[in-house]
Chains A and B, each alone.
Chain A
């Protein structure tokens, strides 16, 4: 069975500092990995995705993630965060059979001025 673990429930960081949100997955088959962001009172927006190819994936809003097969991780990073990055971030793995997404519990990124 596939599963996703987000290792931090909350990450506080100061504005313009770098940040890393950690995600580990469990899967016995080929993986397709995603990071979504949810701003308050809004739906989920795709930040980036890994389907195949280069293990370093660049997404929107300056975010990037690195797929590490040996460590079964897909950590999200941004070199300099803004107040507007304050949101909930979800890591997800897509089921290879059905296409459904299996989400982690989410990480709240709190950017302080």
Chain B
């Protein structure tokens, strides 16, 4: 158990819908990272937050957004969902940006 929790574990929805994925980092960790794992793209970095502020963006679509709240939990919002958004979404946390990242168990999103 890494100490990072993600909810829900599985999510099945339809095209065009909007979903929210939630991540609670390890106690004391200030950085939160979101990654997407799909069969065709592999593991790709989406976005990073540090202590509530956005620090880095990767290959994140405009339909996707995220935020980190004062209690340091983070949410990833995916809207206007397409079939290709079906993937495993991981959250990772670390104390600082240069520390080891601990990964959560992931949320498996299926878009039908």
Contacts and interface: CB of A to CB of B under 8 A. Distances in A.
**Do A and B form a real pair?**
yes
A contact residues, range: 20 to 34
B48 A44 contact: no
A90 B37 CA distance: 12
A43 B90 contact: yes
Contacts of A94: 98
Interface string B90-112: 10101011111111111000000
Interface in B32-62: 33, 35, 42-45, 48, 55-56, 58
Given A98-B55, A98-B56, A100-B48, A44 B90 contact: yes
Contacts of A36: 103
A99 B100 contact: no
A100 B58 contact: yes
Interface residues of B, number: 27
B104 A43 contact: yes
Contacts of A103: 42-44
A45 B103 contact: yes
Interface string A32-49: 100010000011111001
B103 A44 contact: yes
A40 to B, nearest CB: 12
Contacts of A43: 2, 4, 90, 103-106
Given A43-B2, A46-B100, A49-B100, A100 B43 contact: no
A36 B98 CA distance: 17
A27 interface: no
